[in-house]
Amino acid sequence: MSVVGDTSQRILATKKAIRFVSCYASKWPRFMQTSQVWMSSNWIHLHFHLRVLSAGKQYLPSVYQYRPKNGLRPARFSGKLTSLSGTDDIGIAEERFSVAVVTSHTADMPLYTIIYLSDSGYRRLFMESERPLDMPSRGKFTGVAVYLKVLLFVLPIWRRKWTETLNEFDNLVGVKIDDLFDPKRDGAAMFDSSFERSKLYFTVLQTLRVFSEWIQESERELQQLKQNFDVNIQSNAARRGSVASNHGTASPVMFMKEIDEAWEELLATHDSSSKYLLDRIGKKEVEIKSFRDGLFSATSVREASRATALNQYILVFTIVTIFYLPLSYVSSLFSMDIFDYDSFRNSQASFVTITITIAVSTWAVSAVVLWLLHDDGRLSRFKVSLGRVRWKAIYPPQKRKFKEDEQRPIFSGI
């Protein structure tokens, strides 16, 4: 992408070309400037990059290997989304579309070069486009007009790639009507003992968030490209001079108006595609969040049911323990040296009597406590009765009557 001109312009143009290629090939950070406008006294450079996350079985790491043996080796993100069945795994791979133009804006017959770099093949640009292939003529800005036309060809491919990716996500985490009424799959989407389904929902939600960021990033960068182009044109003598051919009959204002209309068409096309994709991503996020909330609710109910069953098992164990507790206590008590009986008959009778007494007392107290705890109303009434008994036990009748008179309101009889 060399240009004709003085040495300083050629060096700067070479740097711009290297930056364009390195931006296409290198790994992008989260926030990356993917558009650039540079304008000299004779030349205009426009760079714009788009990226998409493509999904499908053809992008599995074992199948998809975008590593050319010779030439440019771009850095791309790739991975795998594991399905619950283990047979419907899909691969994730980053793909980019980069378009640059170098064009003059001083000659009546402008010279321009369009550079198009893509990971998904070059023939798809014009073969799959639904737009006419005629190249526009915009005077000395014909190269810019052709560049905008090429971007209009790229946008349908970019949108189709995102749509195919979202279709794969629908197949991965979507629910079909047949699955809802299939008795064999009853409860398969409700419970998650291994947390694999929860992990899948979390991964898909975070991936959709990245989708939204990338789509909004492309819209923001395209608008920035247009703003920078207008600023450079307005600050350059080409905006104030003749835009059309010196021998042409058309006025410069008409040609600039056509360029502005081409920009507006490009922005409107990208805006409609972005709104469609973001709206679909938003609906998918709501759907997955409803799946996740239902999964958490159903799992919580099941865990509560298991806790209730476990409490019943503990109750049975407690009852058995209470049954054997008196016998163990009395046996330990009689094994001490503090008891010294003269005959075996006396010791045996004492052991039986004490064992029966402690056992009956323990079982009676346990039964009363269980009876009180079984009903909250009984426990409340028992507390009130216990308070009254304590009141009567602490204060004698005369003092109790005096206390009651003190607590009675002064104007109770009025």
pLDDT value of residue 322: 73
pLDDT value of residue 246: 43
Same domain, yes or no, for 122 and 209? yes
CB–CB of 345/321 below 8 Å?
Answer: no
Same domain, yes or no, for 189 and 269? yes
In a domain, 356, yes or no: yes
Rounded to whole angstroms, the Cα distance separating 320 from 325 reads 9
State the total domains in the chain.
2
Q: Is the pLDDT of residue 414 over 80?
A: no
CB–CB of 372/379 below 8 Å?
Answer: yes
Same domain, yes or no, for 167 and 251? yes
Q: For residue 296, give its domain range.
A: 7-306
Same domain, yes or no, for 204 and 98? yes
In a domain, 2, yes or no: no
Boundary residue ending a domain (247, 281, 306): 306
Same domain, yes or no, for 297 and 348? no
CB–CB of 210/30 below 8 Å?
Answer: no
Provide mean pLDDT across the span 55-65: 80
Same domain, yes or no, for 198 and 255? yes
pLDDT value of residue 51: 92
In a domain, 329, yes or no: no
Cite the beta strand spans of 105-202 per DSSP E: 112-118
Question: pLDDT tier at 2 (50, 70, 90 boundaries)?
Answer: very low
Provide mean pLDDT across the span 241-268: 67
DSSP conformational letter for 338 = T
pLDDT value of residue 217: 93
Question: pLDDT tier at 370 (50, 70, 90 boundaries)?
Answer: confident
Question: pLDDT tier at 34 (50, 70, 90 boundaries)?
Answer: confident
Provide mean pLDDT across the span 85-101: 87
Tokens 């290997």 map to which residue? 65
Q: Which residue has the higher pLDDT, 13 or 223?
A: 223
Same domain, yes or no, for 280 and 355? no
Mean of all residue pLDDT scores within the chain? 76
Q: What pTM did the predictor assign? A: 0.68
Same domain, yes or no, for 279 and 363? no
Q: Convert the pLDDT of each residue in 379-393 to its tens digit.
A: 677 777 777 776 666
In a domain, 41, yes or no: yes
Q: Which of 52, 27, 48 minimizes the C-alpha distance to 37? A: 48
In a domain, 351, yes or no: yes
Same domain, yes or no, for 69 and 212? yes
In a domain, 313, yes or no: no
Rounded to whole angstroms, the Cα distance separating 334 from 350 reads 10
Same domain, yes or no, for 74 and 177? yes
CB–CB of 297/179 below 8 Å?
Answer: no
Same domain, yes or no, for 301 and 356? no
CB–CB of 82/53 below 8 Å?
Answer: no
| Structure tokens given for 336 | 């001490």
pLDDT value of residue 393: 66
Provide mean pLDDT across the span 364-370: 77
Q: What is the enclosing helix (H) or strand (E) of 225?
A: helix 196-234
In a domain, 318, yes or no: no
Same domain, yes or no, for 279 and 144? yes
In a domain, 1, yes or no: no
